[in-house]
Chains A and B, each alone.
Chain A
């Protein structure tokens, strides 16, 4: 919402400075976004008359002007404008003046050997409009030598406020003045509510025809003014409209725009001679079209409210007038409309047709119903004043809805909700100055909000009115009472797991990424997602159409972006949500990561101490186990399965499970086909840890870690090597060895895998180091021999292998 200072002062008697007004506006909730004063920077530009214009001796398109700027001396100026001519009165810039539209400061110049002592300016050069077809062409009687900005009414600061949607009353300058007056900035000038007497019945009738459907128009007032003389509106009106960014059209149209911004009361004017028969306000019929005054064409249906005559749809009610019946300079008989529209109907139509107008903006927020007829009267008076003519009676269809409502208001509510200290007279004064009615005495009174405040529903709204006008800075800052106890744990298990997974992965040299929650449909399908329920109806782009079923697509493409920038060895992870369905429980928390190139745990790239190899499945497995360990999973009890999702390399991937069904993590090399499909360079390894899959920890009765069991007896190590078939998994062998004697064997380590000479083609040798920890007595050779036999027997039985001789 924009207005000028002088416009505000039409309604507000005040001695306050611009700064005071601006500060107060912001502090009562009408946030000032910008204040501009065009006069400031245009101050040096003066009105000047071209006394003589001759052809430039060396250039066809240039003229050499002699310009009178009132100094008594004629200035020579070279000018290229097509409309530069003898007798033109325009705007002159002198050497030293800054031209905002060109962003330079004028100097004495020489153009094709002819000296030039300034410039005649276009509107664009002065940033007044986009007009640049020629230099400014003022009326002949414009006073030469006077400051242009001052003469043109530009010396009037433009204030722009960011209006919140609850304040339709401040979509007009009058409403803003009322708020300021209530806040102690001056006195509101009462607006005249004068009825204009009609001299004949309005020949055009209006009918609201909604049948048994909800009425999209509540009330409609109409009147004819005949014999008007339309033309350009007066300069003061044009100046104000231009200042707030509107284009003056003609007096009748300008009056409706002026009323829209002055009173927050949008109106419409029809050229009565182009309206056929009576007006009907009704729902549109499928396929009906209208050419709007904005030059665009719209097709309506039965959700749209239209005004039609015998011929056609003449207006999108409350939003946009039609081209056919619009007023032009030739209009002599005008129908003035002042109506009340259904807020939701206006909003829905505006959205559906994609049309934003100043009228829609106001009607969808709620225009003062009680001002429907006074607004029509005020507009009529303005038409009579500026265009003459003879007014008819007013015809009205529908009834202006009753807005009266009474709120029981306990004064104590102000202190209860805001903490402010105030007294009843101050509260009453504030409410009354905003137009509220108060009746009753005592602790609880009855308050009626004014018709222009549809946002006021209950006592909390009254508290807001009082507090915002008295000033939020009057509320003392009050410490929130602190708990009587020391702060206990505030995070949930899930939150703690995320934090631990995050910091453990970062401590493994990985960088945390945050990627979009949505990915392309193809990627979603590839990563076992793509369900209809998770496809956005209005995605921002096709790359962001589906809620992610996995964090990996986002990380993989992020990794590739880094590679494309010259950083192929990326280790990235993300801890975030994935979506397996559209219900709250379908949203799962996952820690996932990727390693590309040589970005292994030890470091990446070449180094004197040893060059890193390409990342492999064990890097991903180690990351997954580290994250699981960090969140408290019993890593030693997890089992490794070969059933990783299809997006992993089938031979180089696995899952980590707690029991046969509960998958806590997946890891592996990304499938080469996926790399190709997603256009990624390999190798890439990845893992996903399902943070929610780990059962909740049981409540512990004690924090004690139990007694340390450390034997005083020396442990003994023994090595064994077994030859087994290639297909035998190491875990099987290790498990068999560990299980051979659970009291003596405290650890088994696989320390060598050998294939080659001395081992058959389809076999491998696995060497293990077994740690024997005696508990009761030192081991004798016989004891060791006995346990060794058990180990060999157990492993051979489990794996079908043999002890390597």
Chain B
């Protein structure tokens, strides 16, 4: 028996000192391989007496199992160590900064975002979005909107004109989005509910005026909408757009040739700090003009003003964007300064919705 004990202790020592899987495999072959020392011994069992076999058989089998187990155990240890070493060698500096992803760096211009916000709000109130051309006729920009020829109200518009044509017609750049009111009423049967966003033009340039700016117009024509409805629409719009629970508004009589009665609308604000805060404080800020569509305008569109009535309003998109998001200077809207677009712009996937909030 002592011979087997010696063999066992020698093998176990060899196994535990094996440093590589290859060395361990060599030991396995030398012990348990076809010609291994334990296998050789097993072959002698046949020649033994039954009594001898009775003791040697279990002893050899036990030895074989022990050595196999020891090899397996050692193998696991060595594999673990190898994996550990590999992991060590594969370590990288995960603090390395990434390139920004394109969807993170691209920006939507505030004017586009605000138009999407307006669309979300007014679509909920049943409005569609109408549009018209920037180059307009005098008829649609002025005459049909009840601006009499030579009236001082025309002069207030600082109109860009094109050269007169041979037939005497002189086209112009629309000074407001209101010509689209006429285009809509002339092509669409009431009831009409549209908003009309778009570019408008006046030859004027300073901190609060640019020769190109954006307006949004609203128009409702049916058989019963009156000034009380207009008030509600604008109140709801202002709360929704400025994302405040309540906002005080002041309607003041005013004059526009294409509405009668006409009003200007002020909203409550706080001018005490650096930025204007909407919905707080005790100052007033004018944000839009509105009124009941003038009977002459309704008539000019082929409708009977005793049967149809409605209201319209108009406001500057750039201006309400500035009020909501705090841009100080209108001219920057048109400068395409990347720093400005990055700062005031919106992420491409942040599409404004009412169910998810207009801005987040």
Residue ranges of A at the interface with B (Cβ–Cβ < 8 Å) = 26-29, 31, 164-167, 343-344, 347-348, 351, 364-365, 415-420, 457-461, 463-464, 467-468, 472-473, 475-480, 482-483, 487, 490-492, 494-495, 499, 502-518, 532-540, 544, 547, 554-555, 558-559, 561-562, 565, 567, 570-572, 575-577, 579, 582-584, 587, 601-603, 607-609
Contact = CB atoms under 8 A, between A and B. Distances in A.
Given A166-B255, A468-B253, A537-B161, A506 B108 contact: yes
B134 A538 contact: no
A507 B228 contact: no
Interface in B111-164: 111-112, 116, 119, 123-129, 131-135, 149-153, 155-156, 160-164
B263 A472 contact: yes
Contacts of B151: 165, 347
Is chain B's interface secondary structure helix, strand, loop, or mixed overall? mixed
B333 A480 contact: no
Interface string B297-313: 00000000100010000
Contact of B337 (A348, A475, A517, A565): A565
B226 A418 contact: yes
Given A463-B261, A503-B348, A512 B337 contact: no
B205 A540 contact: yes
Contacts of B226: 415-419, 478
A460 B294 contact: yes
A775 to B, nearest CB: 37
Taking each of A511, A513, A533, A583, which has the highest tally of chain B beta carbons within 10 Å of its own beta carbon?
Answer: A511
A454 to B, nearest CB: 11
Contacts of A166: 153, 255
B132 A467 contact: no
Interface residue tally on B, bucketed by range: 35 or more
A472 B108 contact: no
A164 B254 contact: yes
Interface of B: 96-103, 105-109, 111-112, 116, 119, 123-129, 131-135, 149-153, 155-156, 160-165, 170-171, 173, 199, 201, 203, 205, 211-212, 220, 225-229, 231-233, 235, 251-255, 260-264, 292, 294-296, 305, 309, 333-339, 341-342, 345, 347-349, 351
A502 B112 contact: yes
Nearest to A463: B261
B229 A478 contact: yes
A425 B106 CA distance: 64
Contacts of B126: 480, 482-483, 487
A565 B295 CA distance: 53
Contacts, number: 262
A478 B232 contact: yes
B109 A513 contact: yes
A340 to B, nearest CB: 17
A561 B331 CA distance: 14
A18 to B, nearest CB: 18
A472 B252 contact: yes
A604 to B, nearest CB: 9
B236 to A, nearest CB: 8
A482 B129 CA distance: 17
Contacts of A554: 336
A467 B261 contact: yes
A603 B261 CA distance: 56
Contacts of B96: 608-609
A538 B309 contact: no
A540 B229 contact: no
A567 B227 contact: no
Nearest to A532: B163
A166 B233 CA distance: 27
Given A472-B263, A480-B126, A554-B336, 14 more contacts: A165-B153, A165-B156, A415-B226, A467-B253, A468-B253, A475-B228, A480-B125, A512-B107, A512-B112, A532-B163, A537-B164, A555-B336, A565-B337, A584-B135
A532 B133 CA distance: 18
Nearest to B198: A577
A491 to B, nearest CB: 6
